[in-house]
Every structure is written in C-alpha cells, then in structure tokens.
C-alpha cells in the first residue's frame, strides 16, 4: 500500500531550513500533474539535483505520456544534494516522490533516465536512499520494477545488474508498453521472474538478468551477453523508433520551477535524429533516422508554450536544429509572432555550413548574446577523419555573417584526442580561433567588445559509433596536449578552457567496460563517489582506488583498442545501424574519406531505415 502524502511530507518539512536551496524539494509547481490516483503508479527519476534534472526534455515527454494513460499516474524524483542526503539518512527518511511525497519503494515502476556515464554512482545512491535493493537479483516480489532508458543506455552493461529492464530508443510508446505489461502481469498475480520474461518480449526492451556473459576467442576480454536458453530473449534487441514524430505532442514541457534551473527556458523539440554522420557522435548514430516536425506545428507549440508557462525564451532543440529544412521559416515566423514581447528565440548550437546571412538575421531576433559553433577539429585533415564535413571557409563565413548581424560573442567547441590527431592538429585549434577573433575586430571594430572562447573536450569513444574500436588518449598524453593547446594561444583575449582529464578517464572506462564494470561502479559508490559530473565533487583518487580494489586499471580499460572483428560487450543491443556500416566508416576515417548526409545525398547504407521500418521524414529541401 502506497504511503499517503500526509504521512511522510512532515518528515521532510523540518529539514528544509537546514539545507541549501530548500526549493529543490517543494512540490506543486505550476503545470505539474495534480491527479495521481493510479491505481498503477510510476516514478521517473533523474539521478541528479532538481535544477539539473527538471529541464530534461526526455523525462518531461515520458511524464506526460504516462499521465495521459487511464489508470496510470506518474510522479518525479530527483537525487537530493549531499546536505539533504545526510539529514535524510540521519533521520531515517527515505527518498520520496515530488508530487505526493510517497516513498519510491512503494511505486510499481521506478524509471531512471541515463543521461551520461558519470551518473552511475548517483543511480546506486538513489536506490539505496529509497530503500530499494540495488540489484535486480536481490529484489523481492513486492519491490518496484526498476527500468532505465535515455541516451546512455547503449552500453548499459556496467549497470546491467541494477535494472530489471532497459528500454532502447524512443520512449513515448515503449515505456507505456513496459508499464502496461507489468500492470497486466501483476493484475493476475504473475511472479516477478515471469514478468521479466514477459518484458523481454516487448519490442526494444533488454532484460539483463536473462543473459549470461560469455568470454571466448571471438570477444574482447569483457565478453558478450548471450540470452539464456529457454528464456525466449532475443539475441539482439533493436531499439524502438517513432516513425510519426509529428504525431507526438510537440509541447511536453508544462512545469515551471520555483527556482532558477539550468536551461531555464521553454524547449520545443523540432526534429529527432541526425544523418550528418560525424564518426565520434553516438547520438548521431543511435537517434537515426531524421524525423522533422513541420514548421507550423513548431511555431504553434512555441507560441502556446510561451503563453502557458510565462517564459521569455524558447529554445528550438534537437541534435542539429539548423539542419531542419524549414529552420529559417520557423525562426522568421516565431520572431514575427513574438515581436515587441521581449521574447528570445534561440537554438542550442549552430552548424557552420547552415549559418548563412538569413539565419544570422533570424536567430534570437533583436537580442544578441552569444553564438556557439562546433568545428570539433582544428585542421581540415582531421575534420575529414571525423566526417565533420565543414571547412575553415565555413567557419569564417559563419563568423562573418554573425559579426555583420550584430553578434559580439562566440564560443567554439573542439575535441582533443581524436583518432590520428597530431600536435599540429592541436596547435591549429587556437590558430583557428585567432582568425575568428581577427574577423570580429575587423568587422565590428577593435574596441567594441568582441569575445571569442574555446572549449576543448577529451574525446571518449562510444558504443555503436565508427570509433567504438578506438582507445582513448592516455591521461599523461591528454595533459601534454593540453599544455600545447594553452601554449599555442597567442591572443590573450581568447579564453581557453578544457575538460578535466580525470573525469574523461572515468567516463571512458565506464563507456568501455562490460558487465564486470558493475564491480567498479559499486566499489566507487561504497568509497563515497557521488555527483561525479560535478567538478567540486569528483574524486579521481577514489575511482582509482575502486579500480585497484576490483583488479582493474582505469587507463588500461579506457585506452584499450578493440579488434575490428571482435564481438563487443554491447553488440546484443542495436540502434539499427549495422556493424558493417560502422566498420566501413572506420576504414574511411583512416583514409580521410568523408561520407555525405543521406538527407542531402543518396542513401549511404547505414541500415537504419530497412531494419527499423522507418524512413527519414524531411518537410522541405535541405541545402
């Protein structure tokens, strides 16, 4: 029986005056779902603090989808900050849902969004704080079914023992199907193990406990997941994919928070998928095919959302918004509709080869704050290796258009440690930024506050990409190249930042490990690792100790190269992109040969459309 709100909220209320940002723990935000009668109850969890998790669009979409189903109710939970966690443990208060202050352990389903690899220890902390056994094998009949989904499920093996089921791909229909299957099974008194067997028959659902890990001459040392005989689990689980993206609700974001959050604005997802084919980009492979919303639907949703929430900014989100074939039309119509209302229309990042004169005039309307571009590499040779398909001329043209249309600040994203990278490629990064700065000073004027900054991430090879066989750059080499980067910047007005080598090392190790990685994550959590994505909280020394305690070395794991024909730890999951295509793209990368975008050229044979039965949906002509 689920605890009622009046039973447990009084346990939290006395703690609010003792913690930082008590508004993280307040319920009844404007737009939250008030009807939570069930009788089937789901709690969606973002295992980070409220202000990081609340704006997550994926969670907002699923929250709305489940609450739209008769007989199902969906609440949310976030991981409290360390001060609140300490108080809750001290006073024996379990983790509660936000809407009804019900214990997470009382829900039928608890669903996690896996946004990135560094959330792993937070997932364990969330379950432990909730009083839910950490692994599927330990859970009793009355415990919730713990499921996961999100962008980082494509190698979920290091957390596989935690989850009863993992949803691959789009969740709008998939999560509802999971919940319906669990509800129907429990209604007839089906035991937990039989529920798991039933879930394995739901398309797009991976049930880790039904698979054994086998190491043989065909695999890496981390082995492969093989379905146990008699379970009926598929040898390869293919993702769910929404073909009719325009048929989904374009306005998932209804909730207005009490406190300032990251990305504190209305968000409208304008397209899903990307066919650019950048060889380092996991999302570009796993979210295929491209599915656009029509312009009129985007504009109507944005206008309605601004009126409903009171926000003064709307962000048109996707993997690559300026690739939308009607992007200029959308911006023009939205700017016209919001003229004189103090509303800013923004897009998260701009493609260099899409940012023409018309786009420069439309982005953000009359407001000019800053623009973000991602050249990714400093030289054309390396951009061809990674299939970025933009040139130095594209960067200079985009910068010129921006400066001529009133922009003054520009941020450029690059990566370090990409396959075949040399010192010359690293030196070229600040040189490229210096040319952009010189353009700005010439166009705007030398004393008009032009600002250019560089952010350089460490490349981490990811599953289901053409670079999944690569080893990561050794930590000492990362630090050496970072020194070269800083030393090569000759314009002191250009700000250079780079990612911490330690966090990239842990991310790389967790990205590469098979199921044995759970021992590492569990030990790191035992030692106190938590909020690893927060610079202030990350402890590389504890992660190294955890690795040593379970017989691993972080650098040895992250920097390992795999044979091109090896069976990989994640090969039992599939986003629809064929392994043959990824192998071909790896070979083309080593030759410096680029592959065009299939939405602008002919089919490139990635295998997604025929394997999933879903085609690209583009409403206009992509230039």
Query: What's the CATH number where 83 sits?
Result: 3.40.50.280
Mean pLDDT, residues 275-294: 97
Q: Which two tokens stand for residue 476?
A: 């000492």
pLDDT of residue 404 exceeding 80:
yes
Helices (H) and strands (E) in the chain, counts: 21, 19
Higher-pLDDT residue of 199 and 320 is 199
559-572 per-position pLDDT tens digit = 999 999 999 999 99
The first and second tokens of residue 271, run together, are 């397209």
Q: Is residue 424 part of a domain?
A: yes
Q: What is the mean pLDDT of residues 512-519?
A: 97
| Residue 529: how many other CB atoms lie within 10 Å | 26
Measure the CA–CA gap between 504 and 508, rounded to whole angstroms: 6
Query: Which pLDDT band, with edges at 50, 70 and 90, does 367 fall under?
Result: low
Domain annotation covers residue 571: no
Tell me: the pLDDT tens digits for 497-509? 999 999 999 999 9
- Residue 620 falls inside a structural domain: no
Q: Where is average pLDDT lowest: 347-351, 529-533, 545-549?
A: 347-351
Count of domains observed in the chain = 2
Start-to-end C-alpha separation, the chain: 57
Q: Is the peptide bond before 39 cis (omega within 30 degrees of 0)?
A: yes
Query: What is the model's pLDDT at position 621?
Result: 85
Grade residue 351 by pLDDT with cuts at 50, 70 and 90.
confident
pLDDT grade for 2, boundaries at 50, 70 and 90: very low
138 and 276 both lie in a single domain: no
- Separation CA 58–CA 502 (nearest Å): 28
Residues 379, 332 within the same domain? yes
d(CA 407, CA 402): 5
pLDDT greater than 60 at residue 6: no
Residue 357 has pLDDT above 70, yes or no: no
Return the closest-CA partner of residue 291 out of 59, 55, 599.
599
Q: Which two tokens stand for residue 62?
A: 């699923």
pLDDT for 211-258, tens place per residue?
999 999 999 999 999 999 999 999 999 999 999 999 999 999 989 999
Tokens representing 24? 């993280």
349 lies in the same domain as 421:
yes
Interior angle at CA 561, CA 560 and CA 564, nearest 5: 150
Residue of 357, 426, 431, 432 whose CA lies nearest to 393: 432
Query: pLDDT per residue over 25-72, tens digit each?
Result: 998 899 998 877 889 999 999 999 999 999 999 999 999 999 999 999
CB 241 within 8 A of CB 615: no
Query: Predicted confidence band at 361 (pLDDT cuts at 50, 70, 90)?
Result: confident
One domain for residues 234 and 140: yes
Q: Is residue 554 part of a domain?
A: no
Last residue of a domain, one of 208, 238, 268: 238
What pLDDT band is residue 350 in, cutting at 50, 70 and 90? confident
Bridge partners of residue 63, in order along the sequence: none
Structure tokens at 194: 């039989």
Return the higher-pLDDT residue of 364 and 377: 377
pLDDT mean over 289-308: 97
How far, in Å, CA of 254 to CA of 257, rounded?
10
What is the arithmetic mean of pLDDT over 483-498?
96
Look at residue 57 in the predicted model and tell me its pLDDT: 96
Task: Based on the fold, state whether residues 310 and 277 are members of the same structural domain.
Answer: yes
Upstream peptide bond of 46 is cis (omega within 30 degrees of 0) = no
Residues 158 and 299 occupy one common structural domain: no
- Name which of 244, 270, 294 is nearest 619 in CA terms: 294
Q: Which residues contact 553 (CB under 8 A, 6 or more apart)?
A: 547
Q: Are residues 431 and 468 in the same domain?
A: yes
Q: Residue 3 — very low, low, confident or very high, per pLDDT cuts 50/70/90?
A: very low
Residue 145 domain flag: yes
Which residues face 416 on adjacent strands?
458
Round to whole Å and give the CA distance between 7 and 367.
49
Q: Residue 214 belongs to what domain range?
A: 5-167+171-238
Give the pLDDT confidence of 120-134 residue by residue, as tens digits. 999 999 999 999 999
Residue for token digits 């404007």?
30
**How does pLDDT run across 95-129, given as a tens digit for each residue?**
999 999 999 999 999 999 999 999 999 999 999 99
At 300-339, the pLDDT tens digits run 999 999 999 999 999 999 999 999 999 999 999 999 999 9
363 pLDDT band (50/70/90 cuts)? confident
pLDDT-derived band at 4, boundaries 50, 70, 90: very low
Give the model's pLDDT for residue 5. Answer: 41
- Given 238, 261, 287, the domain boundary residue is 238
**Residue at a domain's end among 238, 273, 295:** 238
Residues 200, 194: Cα–Cα separation, whole Å: 10
151 lies in the same domain as 268: no
CATH of the domain at 485: 3.80.30.20
pLDDT tens, residue by residue, 458-484: 999 999 999 999 999 999 999 999 999
Phi-psi region of 415 (alpha: psi -120 to 50; beta: other; left: phi over 0): beta
pTM for this predicted structure: 0.96
Are residues 310 and 457 located together in one domain of the fold? yes
Q: Is residue 622 part of a domain?
A: no
Q: Are residues 233 and 250 in the same domain?
A: no
Helix (H, G, I), strand (E, B) or coil at 80: coil
Per DSSP, 15 falls in state: G
The string of pLDDT tens digits covering residues 144-186 is: 999 999 999 999 999 999 999 999 999 999 999 999 999 999 9
Task: Note whether residue 623 is domain-resident.
Answer: no
* Same domain as 258, residue 217: no
User: 95 and 55, same structural domain?
Assistant: yes
Phi and psi for 479 in degrees, rounded to 5?
A: -65, -35
How confident is the prediction for the chain on average, in pLDDT?
A: 94
Identify whether 529 is part of a domain. no
């Amino acid at each position: 029986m689920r605890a009622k709100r009046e039973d447990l909220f009084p346990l939290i209320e006395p703690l609010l005056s003792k913690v930082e940002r008590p508004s993280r723990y307040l319920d009844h935000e404007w737009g939250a779902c008030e009807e939570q009668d069930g009788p089937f109850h789901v709690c969606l969890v973002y295992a980070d603090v409220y202000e990081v998790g609340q704006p997550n669009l994926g969670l907002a979409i699923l929250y709305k989808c489940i609450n739209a189903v008769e007989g199902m109710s969906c609440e949310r939970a976030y991981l409290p900050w360390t001060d609140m966690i300490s108080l809750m443990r001290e006073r024996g208060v379990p983790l509660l849902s936000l809407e009804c202050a019900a214990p997470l352990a009382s829900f039928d389903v608890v669903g996690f969004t896996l946004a990135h690899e560094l959330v792993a220890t937070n997932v364990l902390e969330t379950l432990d704080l909730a009083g839910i056994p950490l692994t599927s094998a330990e859970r009793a009949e009355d415990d919730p079914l713990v499921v996961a989904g999100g962008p980082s499920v494509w190698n979920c093996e290091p957390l596989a023992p935690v989850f009863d089921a993992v949803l691959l791909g789009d969740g709008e229909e998939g999560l509802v199907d999971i919940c319906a299957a669990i509800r129907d099974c429990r209604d007839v008194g089906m035991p937990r193990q039989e529920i798991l067997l039933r879930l394995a028959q739901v398309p797009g659902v991976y049930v880790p406990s039904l698979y054994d890990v086998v190491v043989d001459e065909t695999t890496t040392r981390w082995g492969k997941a093989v379905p146990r005989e008699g379970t009926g689990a598929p040898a390869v689980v293919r993702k769910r994919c929404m073909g009719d993206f325009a048929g989904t609700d374009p306005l998932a974001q209804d909730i207005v928070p009490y406190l300032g959050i990251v990305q504190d604005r209305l968000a409208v997802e304008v397209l899903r998928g990307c066919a650019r084919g950048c060889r380092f980009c996991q999302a570009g492979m796993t979210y295929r095919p491209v599915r656009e919303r029509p312009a009129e639907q985007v504009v109507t949703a944005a206008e309605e959302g601004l009126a409903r929430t009171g926000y003064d900014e709307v962000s048109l989100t996707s993997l690559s918004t300026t690739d939308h074939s009607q992007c200029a039309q959308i911006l023009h119509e939205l700017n016209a509709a919001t003229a004189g209302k103090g509303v800013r229309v923004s897009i998260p990042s701009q493609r260099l080869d899409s940012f023409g004169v018309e786009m420069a005039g439309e982005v953000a309307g009359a407001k000019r704050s800053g623009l973000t571009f991602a050249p990714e590499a400093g030289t054309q040779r390396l951009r061809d290796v990674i299939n970025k398909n933009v040139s130095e001329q594209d960067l200079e043209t985009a910068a010129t258009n921006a400066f001529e249309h009133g922009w003054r600040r520009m941020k450029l994203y690059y990566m370090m440690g990409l396959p075949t990278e040399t010192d010359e490629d690293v030196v070229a990064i600040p040189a490229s930024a210096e040319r952009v700065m010189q353009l700005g000073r010439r166009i705007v004027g030398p004393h008009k506050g032009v600002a250019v900054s560089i952010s350089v991430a460490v490349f981490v090879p990811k599953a289901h990409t053409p670079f999944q066989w690569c080893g990561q750059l050794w930590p000492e080499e990362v630090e050496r190249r970072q020194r070269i980067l800083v030393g090569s910047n000759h314009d002191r007005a250009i700000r250079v930042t780079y990612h911490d080598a330690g966090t990239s090392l842990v991310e790389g190790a967790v990205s590469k490990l098979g199921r044995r990685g759970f021992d590492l994550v569990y030990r790191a959590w035992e030692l106190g690792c938590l909020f690893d994505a927060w610079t202030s909280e990350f402890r590389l020394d504890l992660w190294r100790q955890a690795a040593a305690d379970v017989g691993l070395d972080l650098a040895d794991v992250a920097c390992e190269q795999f044979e091109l024909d090896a069976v990989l730890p994640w090969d039992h999951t599939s986003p629809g992109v064929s392994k043959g295509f990824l192998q071909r793209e790896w070979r083309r990368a080593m030759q410096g040969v680029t592959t065009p975008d299939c939405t602008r050229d002919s089919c490139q044979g990635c295998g997604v459309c025929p394997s999933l039965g879903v085609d690209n949906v583009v409403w206009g002509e992509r230039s």
